[in-house]
Amino acid sequence: MTDKPSVVFLIPFASRTVKSNWEAACAHLRQTLISIQNSTSGNYRVVVAGHEAPDFDAAFDSRFIFLPLHHPIHVHKDRFISARLDKLAKYDAAWNYAKSIWRPGYVMKLDADDLISSRLVGWLENFGGEAGYLIKRGWLWSSGSRRLIQRTESLDRECGSCLIIRCDLADKKGPFLTNFDGLPADEAGLRFAAADQYSLVPGSGISTLLLNNCHQRYAAQFAHLGHKLSSITFNAVVYRVHNVDSITNGRRRVHTLRMWLGSVRRTRYITPRLRREFMLE
């Protein structure tokens, strides 16, 4: 196998100590890995980083690596922030491992329960060349649904599996960390963050382009580094929703009648072609 894959996927796997259903978490991770294995191009690598190995061999494909970690799990009074800090630490470990043995073209953070299109790796291999790509187009899938799925053109607003970074930029630094990543913020910063979801927040902490989780602010981060963030031109990711252990599951959301009607209009039947493309089970 080449040491220059088109893309390396970094997957943080949460500890069983924070999972309410370990068997389901392992099944979701396996499905994520199978969706990658289903890619039309095999020019990729995967690093899964976790405190405990899943209940199956995560390296069932030679392109997959399970990286065992032993650092203490981050504890914060806000469960949401604790989970984010844990994810960032695992991305960091997975990335350090990946770049020590490979020279990938791109790197993508991928949640352990989301799925990718079989076309994504091949598209990056044949058409990639930009500094980075934002995945806005994708699908929202209620975990385990056999018939229905919802189309979205704003995947980046709520799903972490939405950014592909050219590897020479992944370690570039800027004011990217916000209170959502556990950084203390003053009242002015909090008001700005609430009012403007897309710009850099004044007073943000310094981090790398890879090691933060501010979905809506990615374009501003790239612009800060002097680069334009492009977009993938097709539905590239399935975001698993209504997963009981999801970080965002406990966040309260307000749904208006207009939003509900919009979700109905975007709902589609899961076709055999879509099932094959994302390995939906």
pLDDT digits (tens, 9 = 90+) for 5-31: 999 999 999 999 999 899 999 999 999
**In contact, 183 and 177? CB cutoff 8 Å:** yes
pLDDT at residue 164 greater than cutoff 80: yes
Of 99-108, 114-123, 169-178, 257-266, minimum mean pLDDT range: 257-266
Q: How confident is the model at residue 250 (pLDDT cuts 50, 70, 90)?
A: very low
pLDDT at residue 221 greater than cutoff 50: yes
Over residues 91-120, the pLDDT tens digits come to 999 999 999 999 999 999 999 999 999 999
Q: What is the DSSP string of 75-96?
A: --SSHHHHHHHHHHHHHHHHHH
Please report, for the domain that includes residue 154, its CATH number. 3.90.550
Domain assignment present for 132: yes
CB neighbours (10 Å) of residue 152? 20
Of 4-13, 40-49, 176-185, 225-234, minimum mean pLDDT range: 176-185
**Sequence-ordered alpha helix ranges (H) in 20-160:** 22-37, 79-101, 120-127
Domain assignment present for 1: no
Domain assignment present for 2: no
Domain assignment present for 250: yes
Domain assignment present for 31: yes
The b-or-e profile of 45-56 (16+ CB within 10 A means b, else e) is: bbbbbbbebbee
Specify whether the backbone of 182 is left (phi greater than 0), alpha (psi in -120 to 50) or beta.
left
Domain assignment present for 160: yes
Calculate the CA 219 to chain-centre distance.
16
Supply the pLDDT for residue 77: 78
Distances from the Cα of 174 to the Cα of 12, 36, 131, 166, 169, angstroms: 23, 31, 16, 16, 11
Number of domains observed in the structure of the chain: 1
| Residue range 36-52: mean pLDDT, rounded | 97
Question: Domain containing 12: what range?
Answer: 7-278
Domain assignment present for 230: yes
Strand partners, 230: 133
Compare 258 and 150 and report the one with higher pLDDT: 150
Domain assignment present for 193: yes
